[in-house]
A and B are shown apart, each in its own frame.
Chain A
Amino acid sequence: MTTKAFQKIYTKIDNITKATVTLRATGVGNDELATVGGHLAQVVKIMGDQVTLQVFEGTEGISTDAEVLFHGVPPTLKVGDGLAGRFFNAYGEPLEGGAPVEGEEREIGGPTVNPFRRRQPSELIATGIAGIDLNNTIVSGQKIPFFADPDQPYNQVMANVALRAKADKIILGGMGMTNDDFLYFKNLFENAGVLDRIVCFVNTTENPPVERLLVPDMALTAAEYFAADKGEKVLVLLTDMTLYADALAIVSNRMDQIPSKDSMPARSTRILQRSTRRLCSCHRVVRLPSSL
């Protein structure tokens, strides 16, 4: 993360909850990123000069005199062809080391596609799985949710879909994935020789759950780059949305909000809805008008 010169450093935090810190600061923009004692955080609320930050890793060990630095920008992803074949964490940083991706820096969770500029989905994507192709055909440009119990092999099914689908790029957004499942996907893609078509954004169970909230927007920003800028057919796999929703619940519980029915906090529905603005599904394909 680059920081600008002459940046003001704040060192007095007023309040700390399990997921947030609040301090006095000025000139801060909504949604912008910050670092709190070295941990990445995002502005979630501003009241006069009181700024509340959500700390992705949680606030364990953060002290009231921790250094707080505002970045002046919301979360971004550098998009370029170099994304292909790479594995990233929820912040879009390369996982296995290696050079950062070169390219244009784009805000994640930006503006949405004008429905009038969409085209009617019609092109079939064959998966070779009879249960899907015959009964629930996947059409390019469409979203399809997979509903499964935790003991069902949904990751295998989705990996299969990914491998057989004739897409130019496959973007995998893993949320709360076990490390074993992550390695399963990675090996499978490697063995199938399709690594150059894959882009992965992964938050595993070993990572802080709140980070997951960034994964869908990271994945969709990459997807929109390949679909809109490069005119490619892109398949997005997001797994697993229940664990994404769990992260929302954690955030609002930690922000000391009153949980509403079904332990899904009233406030978190807003985040859920904000996020579902750009995704509704375990997986979706972005297809662009041929005129582009």
Chain B
Amino acid sequence: MKTTGKVQGIISNIVIVRTEGAVSQNEICYITIGDVKLMAEVIKVIGKDAYVQVFDSTRGLKIGAIVEFEGHMLEATLAPGIISRNYDGLQNDLERMESLFIERGTKTDPIDYEKLWDYKPLAKVGDVVTAGDWLGEVKELWVDHKIMVPFVMEESYTVKSLTEAGQYNVNKVVAVLTDSKGEDHEVTMVQKWPVKKAIKGYVSKPRPSRIMETGVRAIDTFNPIADGGTGFIPGPFGAGKTVLQHAISKQAEADLIVMVACGERANEVVEIFAEFPHLDDPRTGHKLMERTTIICNTSNMPVAAREASVYTGMTIAEYYRAMGLKVLLLADSTSRWAQALREMSNRLEELPGQDAFPMDLSSIISSFYARAGLVHLRGGATGSVTFLGTVSPAGGNLKEPVTESTKKAARCFYALSQQRADSKRYPAIDPLDSYSKYLEYPEIVEYLDGHIENGWVKNVMEGKTLVRRGKEAAEQINILGDDGVPVEYHEMFWKSELVDFVILQQDAFDDIDANCPIERQKFMFDFVMEVCRKQYGFVEFEECSAFFKNLINLFKQLNYTVWQSEEFAKYESEIRSIVASK
């Protein structure tokens, strides 16, 4: 019997429900208003009163309206057919909503329950299995989508029977599992999981030991993110957070991308809807949309579903990770999620923390980031969830709670600077403030030295030092004037400009420059460092600046030229001869 209740109070989208029966924290309920039902989640219980946040407008709602509790938390539906869908924060398929406007209470199926899948079993009768073990698989687009022992099944089971290969829809029973008490459990291709809980079902979660290529030089070369790692991109409005995330979503070396558009402009997602079905994944030749799932709670959609959208995204990412896939989760912007939390907390009149954010903001953010990671699965395969979120601090002030809490949780920090954006030095990732903690991991250093070249990380550190010294030189030149400093200061400064223009800056809108594979990054970085290591002994600072301006120009041409083409070789030799002749 479902618990029911009646509306007792309404404060914007918080509704107080007088319940008749048991309710649990975070339980989902539906409030009846006219002929629609509004979905809501319990966020506080005081005596018989459940405080629920409604994921929709409460306009017109009256005292006494009937509320039905569902007996479960907010869940994601996990089954074949998720990839390339466009969901709202509650996993309603936006494409299935016919009308231009999203009417209140609209619900659509997250997957196609009719579609037939080519199923084949993987397990054997008599196998002992636990949650997450692979029982069978279907082909979802190009992915071997594993049908797993549902994550909610907590003990070990013996496979009693398996359905033979064939064409079935997702509701087909594909296995019967027997528990220790001898009770049988039927398993279909669909399972549900409460989004706020981490999906476990793996053997271990080792430290990440390799990097995930993004094709962005300022990331891969200077501050790489690990496969299964975490990072965030804080930056003021207009600094390029979204452009950077979109570039990564197109280029990253991941099997699947889950993008959460959280409280930002709807037009930014529209761009993806329009482009991704036509663009090719540079690595596989599949269309980009065939590896992308979008969760969309843009600024015009209900604020209460912001939080749900990031958790739904994470749950889908974890689900595919359990199949041995490399999943990249992107969220833009996590600040909007935090603001939604603040709003709710304020309305509940909880004791506010800094800037009125909830006291436990930091722990909410860190337990979310903790769900990312590389995992070893029982069958021997590995899977990963790499998470990269943006943060939009008001006025670009990095000393605010969301940025500070995220800094504690994420291992890579890509600070976008207003100054760099203003001078159109894109991507505006500040080379000195930003960091990747992974460069301190011995296993990552070993990986990079092995996969890129011996001594790579040492060279990268040398490059970073060069940029820092160039900045110091520029400050001195600013204070003392061009003639007031030794010419070496100018040389130092111009070398750092060379690194900046050629390695750090990258045109996200140029077909060739936008995506720089690691092999090309290695070549360019080594080449630039080779030029920078030479001491030129200029006499006049004008001579120095003219020399480097010319080089920067030629190097930029190199970046815009097809890798290892004739033209590329031509620019390369031109640069080499200029450098040699000086």
Contact = CB atoms under 8 A, between A and B. Distances in A.
B564 to A, nearest CB: 34
Interface stretch (A117-125, A170-178, A182-190): A117-125
Contact of A112 (B10, B301, B340): B301
A261 B400 CA distance: 11
B574 interface: no
B63 A116 contact: no
A245 to B, nearest CB: 13
Interface size on B, as a range, is: 35 or more
A267 interface: yes
Interface stretch (A206-214, A232-240, A268-276): A268-276
Contact of B343 (A29, A116, A270): A270
A201 B314 CA distance: 43
Contacts of B339: 269, 273
Given A112-B101, A260-B356, A31 B58 contact: yes
Given A30-B10, A269-B339, A273-B303, A48 B63 contact: yes
B402 to A, nearest CB: 13
Contact of B300 (A30, A112, A228): A112
Interface stretch (B249-257, B266-274, B415-423): B266-274
A274 B12 contact: yes
Interface string B321-343: 00000000000000000011011
A118 B59 contact: no
Contacts of B104: 111
Contacts of B565: none
Contact of A74 (B60, B99, B303): B60
A118 B342 contact: no
Given A260-B356, A270-B347, A111 B101 contact: yes
A10 to B, nearest CB: 15
Given A46-B9, A114-B94, A269-B343, A141 B267 contact: yes
A82 interface: no
A48 B8 contact: yes
A45 B266 contact: no
A30 to B, nearest CB: 5
A228 B356 contact: no
Contacts of B352: 260, 266
B1 interface: no
Q: Which of A46, A47, A48, A113 has the most CB of B within 10 A?
A: A46
Interface of A (DSSP majority class):
loop
Contact of B270 (A30, A48, A115): A115
Contacts of B204: none
Contacts of B296: 115-116
Interface in B94-114: 94-95, 97, 99-104
Interface in A56-115: 74, 107, 109-115
Nearest to B97: A114
B355 interface: yes
A78 B137 CA distance: 56
B274 A113 contact: no
A116 B300 contact: no
A278 B301 CA distance: 8
B265 interface: yes
Nearest to A280: B299
B347 A116 contact: no
A116 B62 CA distance: 32
Contacts of A113: 100-102, 266, 300
Nearest to A51: B63
Contact of A120 (B11, B270, B346): B270
Contacts of B303: 270, 273-274, 277
B86 interface: yes
B342 A111 contact: no
A266 B342 contact: yes
Contacts of A47: 8-9, 11, 16
Nearest to B94: A116
Contacts of A111: 57, 101-104
A268 to B, nearest CB: 10
Contacts of B97: 114, 116-117
Given A46-B63, A74-B59, A112-B300, A117 B100 contact: yes
B266 A115 contact: yes
Interface size on A, as a range, is: 35 or more
Nearest to B271: A120
A124 to B, nearest CB: 15
A73 B346 CA distance: 28
Interface in A249-268: 260-261, 266-267
Interface string B42-64: 00000000000000011111110
Given A46-B9, A280-B299, A31 B59 contact: yes
Contact of A116 (B58, B59, B273): B273
A112 B265 CA distance: 13
Interface string B1-13: 0000000111110
B230 interface: no
A119 B270 contact: yes
B132 to A, nearest CB: 32
Nearest to A271: B12
A125 to B, nearest CB: 14
A121 B241 CA distance: 20
A112 B62 contact: no
Interface string B101-141: 11110000000000000000000000000000000000000
Contacts of A48: 8-9, 63
Nearest to A274: B303
B91 interface: no
A238 to B, nearest CB: 15
Given A30-B61, A31-B60, A142 B267 contact: yes
Given A110-B101, A112-B101, A120-B270, A26 B63 contact: yes
B342 A269 contact: yes
B362 interface: no
27 contacts: A45-B12, A46-B11, A46-B63, A47-B9, A110-B101, A111-B101, A111-B104, A114-B97, A114-B99, A114-B100, A115-B86, A115-B94, A115-B266, A115-B270, A115-B298, A115-B300, A116-B86, A116-B273, A117-B97, A120-B275, A261-B356, A267-B346, A270-B347, A273-B339, A273-B343, A280-B299, A288-B100
Q: Which 7 A-B pairs have the closest CB atoms?
A: A116-B94, A260-B356, A29-B60, A266-B346, A120-B274, A31-B59, A266-B356
Given A29-B59, A117-B97, 18 more contacts: A30-B58, A30-B61, A44-B12, A47-B8, A112-B101, A113-B101, A115-B296, A115-B300, A116-B97, A118-B273, A120-B270, A143-B267, A266-B346, A269-B339, A270-B343, A277-B301, A288-B100, A292-B100
